[in-house]
Amino acid sequence: MKHYQILIIGGGTAGITVAAQLKRKDKNLNIAIIEPSDKHYYQPAWTLVGAGTFDFKDTERNEADYIPEGVEWIKDKATDIRPESNQVATAQNGDLGYDYLVVAPGLVMAPELLPGLKEAMDKGVVCSNYTDPEHTWEVLKNFKGGNAVFTQPTTPIKCGGAPQKIMYLAEDYFRKNGLRDKTNVIFATPGTVIFGVPDFAKTLNKIIHDRDIIFKPFYAPIKIDPEKQEIYFSYNKPGDSGNCGVTEGNPIGEEMTGDTEIKLHFDMLHLAPPQAAPKFIQNSEVSIQEGPGKGWVDVDINTLQHKRFGNIFALGDVAHLPTAKTGAAIRKQAPVVVENLLKLLQTEKVGTASYQGYSSCPLVTGYGKMVLAEFKYDNVRDSDPLISKFVDTSKEQWSMWLLKKYGLPFMYWNLMLRGKA
């Protein structure tokens, strides 16, 4: 059986960044990455692809070009983690042994969790920037008016702000193309507020009000009828069952179809599909077995060390952390994993580096406008001290749009994945 000093599951943002930083600290480390994909995508730009302002081809690179020098690439799928015996099972390479394991396979799309979505996904007027942003752009261009519905599931998702970013861009697009007066732009979310951090929520609430966007909180999607172009929601406001405020003859044509069930016709539907940890993670002992975090990797929210298996760390979308699943979060998580793992390797005691929950959501609010929402655990605002000196990131800014479109992709490919940022 092949054995590695450090084995990393996942060659996405988290896995590559950690491997690159480890090699920069100590080029003699024996590291391997398990990753089946040939291509590596810069997914944050898919929002812009869906609005026709970024080329999909520019979000794609060869995985081989980003595996750090001196790191072995095992082009395979992990199928099981056996922490008791320090082994990872793979589809083609059998079992692999490790001294230390970094778990970073990301999450997977699970459209099957929403009845009707699998059949409807990326066809006709149903689209998702999460799976096929080029189709989103086609849907936008073909839209002639009616109900443009934007929604998200009750599961955790990558970048919680993404479902509303495309909504703001679409609204702007309809306005620029003379369609706005015959369009209802509807944002339906299972959440209670437009955004969890008050400073940014204030800005977004004003945008929603000023641009006549219909905001529907407590709306959890439960099924889709692709033939009839209808989506059903469960109204889940605590203590408010049976009173959804839906009246007959309402402008968007909502209908009550049960005590708390609402039916809504759509002429365009954009949604984030339900998302989940990969099956091999859910079925492994490294995941939380019961309760709210069931299926996600059980790590200390500050050290990112596994709570039960000391030689395992996890970061990125698969880790059970009470913050948004974003690339920006990984940028702050990776150095913590690297420092704590190296300290453990050298002294048998985990390091003191601590992740405070930093994440950021570049909220594109229209063509040429963006609010940079940065926050940490407990929804506390946590703005970059340098950027904050020059701009108020809680307001719509042209400079932040430039950062999103040009600055962040450059930083991602040239600095972050090279272990330099």
Phi, psi of 319 (to 5 degrees): -80, 140
Predicted local confidence at residue 240, as pLDDT: 66
Query: What distance in Å separates the CA atoms of residue 310 and residue 298, rounded to the nearest whole number?
Result: 11
Residue 234 to residue 256: CA distance in whole angstroms? 10
| Residues 35-43, mean pLDDT to the nearest whole number | 98
Label residue 241 by pLDDT band (50, 70, 90).
Answer: low
Residue length, the chain? 421
Task: Give the per-residue pLDDT at 243.
Answer: 59
Q: DSSP for 204-247?
A: HHHHHHHTT-EEETTEEEEEEETTTTEEEEEE--TT-TT-----
Contact 195, 161 (CB under 8 A): yes
Does pLDDT of 317 surpass 70?
Answer: yes
Whole-number percent of the chain with pLDDT over 90 = 93
Inform me whether the pLDDT recorded for 274 exceeds 80. yes
Instruction: For residue range 78-117, list pLDDT tens digits in order.
Output: 999 999 999 999 999 999 999 999 999 999 999 999 999 9
SS3 label, residue 316 = helix
* Residue 239 pLDDT level (bands cut at 50, 70, 90): confident
What is the amino acid identity at position 342?
Answer: L
Q: Which of 103, 104, 271, 361 is catalytic?
A: 361
pLDDT at residue 391 tops 90: no
DSSP secondary structure letters along 290-315: SSTTTTSB-B-TTT-BBSS-TTEEE-
Position 310 scores a pLDDT of 98
DSSP-assigned letters across all residues of 59-88: GEEEGGGTSPTT-EEE-S-EEEEEGGGTEE
Q: How far is CA 135 from CA 236, 269, 279, 317, 409, in A?
A: 31, 12, 28, 25, 22
Answer whether residue 346 shows pLDDT above 70: yes
User: Which among 58, 39, 225 is positioned nearest to 134, based on CA atoms?
Assistant: 58
Q: Of residues 9, 19, 102, 159, which has the active-site annotation?
A: 159
Q: Are the C-beta atoms of 264 and 233 separated by less than 8 Å? A: yes
Is the predicted pLDDT of residue 245 greater than 80, yes or no? no
Average pLDDT over residues 182-200: 96
pLDDT of 242: 56
CA-CA distance, 80 to 84, in Å (whole number)?
12
Give the percent of the chain with pLDDT over 70. Answer: 99
Residue 368: CB partners within 8 Å, gap ≥ 6? 398, 401
Give the tens place of pLDDT for each residue, 50-77: 999 999 999 999 999 999 999 999 999 9
179 contacts: CB under 8 Å, gap ≥ 6:
143, 144, 145
Contacts of 398 (CB under 8 A, 6+ apart): 368, 369
- Looking at residue 271, what is its pLDDT? 98
- The token duo for 292 is 């709210």
| pLDDT at position 390 | 84
- Reported as a single tens digit per residue, the pLDDT across 198-220 is 999 999 999 999 999 999 999 99
Query: What was the pLDDT predicted at 142?
Result: 98
Q: Is 244 a catalytic residue?
A: no
Q: Positive or negative CA dihedral for 415, 417, 418, 421?
A: positive
Contact 60, 41 (CB under 8 A): yes
Q: Is 361 a catalytic residue?
A: yes
Sign (positive or negative) of CA dihedral 186, 129, 357, 281:
positive
Distance CA 229, CA 265 (A): 6
Residue 324 neighbours by CB distance under 10 Å:
23
pLDDT(389) > 90: no
> Which domains are delineated in the chain?
2-107+277-358+407-416 (3.50.50.60), 110-274 (3.50.50.60)
Task: Indicate the range of 153-157, 220-224, 272-276, 382-386 predicted with least confidence.
Answer: 382-386
